[in-house]
Amino acid sequence: MMDNVSVITTFTLSGLNGTANYRVPLFALTLLCYCVIWLVNVTVIVTIIVDKSLHEPMYIFLCNLCINGLYGTSGFYPKFLIDLLSPTHVISYAGCFLQAFVLYSSAGADFSLLALMAYDRYVAICQPLLYHSVMTKQRICVFVFFAWLMPFFLLFVSSITSTMRLCGSHIPKIYCVNFYIFNLACSVSILSIIIPYFNFTFYFGHAVFVVWTYIYMIKTCLRSKENRSKFMKTCLPHLLTLTVFVVSLLFDVFYMRFGSKDLPQSVQNFMAMEFLLFPPIVNPIIYGFQLTQIRKRIQHFVRSTRRVFRLTS
């Protein structure tokens, strides 16, 4: 049994090599971004939870999307901020796998939640008379449960079936990812190849489903001005959110697998951070400004807070 366990106890992250001269400004900027991520996401989450009129399928999915944004970024930013102020950039064996697990499961949950939001809009626009019978509270709970469960289950299976002996500890990135960890393996098992491809196929199916729903929604919207208005108000934010997430994620994935290593390290780091920076900030802002109900509730909360401060001062 001990033959399958690596003797490596730590990994070295080399993504921050050469940033010693501007680590403090980078730390301040990163901390500011992380604070903004918490501010905008918590604002949307609290608004939806407190306001009972927002306890509808689309807003429940949006609330979970914001919670997932906080979950995913918590696997990166605290460690990254510590590394920016540290002369050495190492992470424990367990910590590396945990970080990779959090980042991958968060990305998977994001995809699942965005697919659910596409399905919700599909039913609302293409089958409006059946909407309340299809999108019941019980069914929404089941959808959300599986949207969170499946990424955790797939990553857990991938982790327990990929125990391997490692022949290196150097990861050329600012955080841990399975792709580079598996590249350090002394030998490759069949399961370590099959399971990642199965996971990819599973989420590619999500993408096909989203495209299918939008084809039908666009066809339906072309027949009715009312549906076109509904599409612009509720589907456009979702489409923007989906585009930001997919483009940010694909940039990192394609560069990691096929990109040139001659790019400056700062550019590589920015591409690695894209899906942990833009979606968690842009998503709640898009919905907060575009969806009238959320925007009004946030404005009302801000005005109420100002009145309280004026009365107490």
Give the 3-state secondary structure of residue 259: coil
Has residue 185 got a pLDDT over 70? yes
Give 222-265 pLDDT, tens digit per residue.
777 776 777 777 777 778 888 888 888 887 777 777 766 777 87
Pairing between β-strand 90-92 and β-strand 10-13 as defined by DSSP bridges:
antiparallel
In contact, 235 and 217? CB cutoff 8 Å: yes
Nearest CA among 302, 304, 282, 292 for reference residue 110: 282
Has residue 219 got a pLDDT over 90? no
Q: 164: which 2 tokens?
A: 């391997």
pTM over 0.85: yes
HSE-CB for 77 with a 13 A CA cutoff: 23
Please name every residue paired with 170 in a beta bridge, in sequence order, or none if there are none. Answer: 12
The CA angle 76-81-84, to the nearest 5 degrees, is: 120
CA distance 173 to 16: 8
> Which residues make Cβ contacts (< 8 Å) with residue 276, sequence separation at least 6?
72, 73, 76, 77, 103
